[in-house]
Structure 1
Amino acid sequence: MSSIKDPCIGVCKFCEDVCIGCGRTQREIKAWKKLDKDEKRAVLAQADLRLLTLDATGRRKKK
């Protein structure tokens, strides 16, 4: 099985502790490499919701 790719797109600008590029919090970004596959999926799901809240959709690359 392949690992889940880091969602960073190099924007790295924060609005209320949430990156407007990937939707993750600073804590989630720092912990990314230590998370297991299920935890990463959960973070990505939350990140997508945050991007919707910030009206920043379309910044993350779609598969």
Structure 2
Amino acid sequence: MNRADRVRSPCVSVCALDENDVCIGCHRTSDEILHWTRMTDDERREVLKLVAIREQKVAL
């Protein structure tokens, strides 16, 4: 698999952690951000599911 086929980072270049250690831009935790480049695509998809849940909570 080449790089273009990998699951892409949700980073939007708004990098700041909130009081829960979650980025206000991409909604990943600091650990998820730190380990992103070493994750498999399946692990990345799991993180993206969590990101979607966090985004919904913020929108409410």
Query: TM bucket by the smaller chain?
Result: 0.7 to 0.9
How far apart are the structure 2 equivalents of 1:19 and 1:51?
11
- Which of 9, 13, 21 pairs up with 1:10? 13
**Higher RCO (C-alpha 8 Å, min separation 6):** 1
Tell me the percent identity: 39
**TM-score, with structure 1 as normaliser:** 0.79
Q: Which runs of 5+ in 2 are unaligned?
A: none
Q: Decide which structure has greater helix share.
A: 2
RMSD: 1.5
Counterpart in 2 of 1:44?
48
Aligned length: 56
Distance 1:19 1:52 in 2: 14
CA distance in 1, matches of 2:37, 2:30: 13
Stretches of structure 1 that go unaligned for 5 or more consecutive residues are 57-63
TM-score, normalised to structure 2, is 0.83
